[in-house]
Amino acid sequence: MREEATTGAGAVWYRKIVAFKYRFCVQGPTTLHTLFLCLALFAATSSQNAGSEEFYAVKEVPHGTLQPITYLSKTTGKERRYYVYLPPAYAENTSQRYPILFLLHGANCDERSWPYAGNVKEIMDNLLAEKKAVPMIVVSPNGYASKPGEAQPDITSRKSPPDFNAMFATFEEEFSSDLLPDVERRFRTIPDRSHRALAGFSMGGLQTMSLGLDHLQLFSYLGGFSGCGGAFNAPINLKTDHRGAMRNAKKFNAKMNLLFLTEGSNEPGFILESVKRYRAALNAAGIKYSFYESPGTTHDYPTWRRSLHEFAPLLFPDLRDVVVKPLPSPAVAFGQPIHPASDDKKLFPDAPAGFDDVRKDIPHGKLEHTTWYSSTVGKARNMLVYTPPGYSALKKYPTLYLLHGIGANEYQWGWAGKPDVVLDNLIAEGKAAPMVVVMPNGCAQMDDEPKGDKYASAPAYATFEQDLLVDLIPTIEKSYSVSTKAEDRAIAGLSMGGGQSLDFGFAHMDVFKSIGGFSSAPNTYQPDRLVPDVDKAKKLRLVYVSAGTKDGLFGISQRTHQYLRDHDIPHIWNVDGHGHDRDTWSYNLYYFLQKVFR
């Protein structure tokens, strides 16, 4: 069947697909976005026999979070991106570490395939709610990787059996040298092979076998979905393939926790043949594996969603009976009494459902990881910077400096409030001003992600005042198209970062005209020291203070509000019913963003 397509605004190709068999032919000097192609194929095929299935439906269950992460790859010399799923309660259970599953995509797709077309978040949320899987972190990276001057691998050509070792060599190097270290630095993983799994569909299944079997020191669970060994009639020799990983079946079986293969019953013949050949080789060699066939599906997402749904419950059984004890409440941890007063009222309802969900129908800003050189500390330090949709060097934007809590780093706001996603949505709705948001590491010392007693690093959060003023702000205003006027700068934060924001903001009202403290910690100065100039404080554009009545640190924000109230300093004082947690931080950030710079 040949169908003509038409173009719309932004050179997007449109065609309603009404058949299940498809072939895309793009003629002329056009660029077709890989995700569009991937999702177009998905749309063409997912309406086959599988239909919509309950296991990936959105249900009223606890939900994890899904977010994109940008990192610098030394192997490729470029910034790269992956998506990470964090299970429900990841933010609350700050002492818990999690196993990790890496999911790889197929040819002509990218890191967005599993999150958007593969429904990984919905599948994992439902499995966890049904207690069929253990809580785990899931990472979906980009499986294409090439060094400067190196051609990108092309797996779609089947003129001869490809050399998969050569084709995937750069990705394997990038994975072990850049991606894995980045993930384990940012997130609370269990950093050993017994708690790492790798799986993928189609090309990603081939990569799983290549990367996983070549690096058994990294993984003990492997899953090939519609892709394993012997693809495109490539020879299979288990005694020599993958550095001889399967040469000794007894040792291999003892070392591997799970080797899992899948296919759809209606896959193309060459896929079914490759899986059949590989299984025959495994059987002959005495290699243990598990096999799943998805009934009635072909080489498409219904097969791969089902494969993930079957695979995930088999992972990390040693953690199934582990009971994670909840952390003590802040009231116990900090010993602060909670005594709400008559004017401690909730000004705003909880943020509406979906306020921090990624929307596909709106423009998106850019979130990048970068560094600034701190002369205060004597090293390059890390930060995330969000630039709004349509960011242009021809316009000067206001800047919000958003600070994290003690023991965390520049990534905390990514799960505590998702400011990039929330701002994209608010800007699209006309409810927030386009702004640049800077999320720096607020621990100003050489070891700015210290292990052990996190409170021992408290002095470094005070040192950050100089780092912010002398090093960070000048770097931002040199590197980004932002206003240098005080009325166009704001500072806000949560917990320790809330205390920093109040301390630094009131101390430098010639630098910041908007200040926000959410659940501010004990580093917050006593009120008579906090506000050195009451008259100047009355002229600030915005002062926003918030806390929850289940937060043991409530009294710190309450005393700040009472001082501001008694001295007639205009401010917002929002008291909700939450604790020292993501709910209060994300909801108050949602309202703060609608008021700052307005």
Q: For every residue of 136-176, which 3-state class applies, written as one string? A: CEEEEECCCCCCCCCCCCCCCCCCCCCCHHHHCHHHHHHHH
Distances (CA, A) of 397 to 335, 427, 471: 42, 13, 19
Mean pLDDT over the full length of the chain: 86
Residues of the chain with pLDDT under 50: 1-51, 324-333
Residue whose C-alpha is closest to residue 118's, from 217, 41, 18:
41
User: According to the model, what pLDDT value does residue 231 have?
Assistant: 65
CATH class of 65-153+162-317: alpha beta
Hey, CA dihedral for 523, 527, 531, 532, is it positive or negative?
Answer: negative
Angle, vertex CA 551, rays to CA 559 and CA 441, nearest 5:
85
pLDDT at site 336: 63
Quick one: fold of 341-595? Rossmann fold (3.40.50)
Q: Where in the chain is the domain with CATH 3.40.50.1820?
A: 65-153+162-317, 341-595
Chain centroid to Cα 248, Å, comes to: 39
β-strands 542-548, 489-494: how paired? unpaired
Distances (CA, A) of 419 to 8, 274, 442: 31, 46, 17
d(CA 365, CA 387): 6
Q: So what's the pLDDT on residue 167?
A: 63
Pair type for strands 399-403 and 436-440: parallel
Between CA 154 and CA 162 the distance in angstroms is 9
- pLDDT value for 249: 93
* Position 274, amino acid: S
Per-residue model confidence (pLDDT) at position 158: 52
- The pLDDT value recorded for residue 46 is 43
pLDDT for position 331: 38
Task: Look at residue 420 in the predicted model and tell me its pLDDT.
Answer: 96
Compute the CA torsion angle 382, 100, 261, 128 (nearest 10 deg): -130
Contact partners, residue 486, CB within 8 Å, separation at least 6: 509, 510, 511, 512, 513
Please state, in angstroms and rounded to a whole number, the distance separating the CA atoms of residues 80 and 209. Answer: 23
Selection from 87, 281, 80, 118 nearest residue 200 by Cα: 118
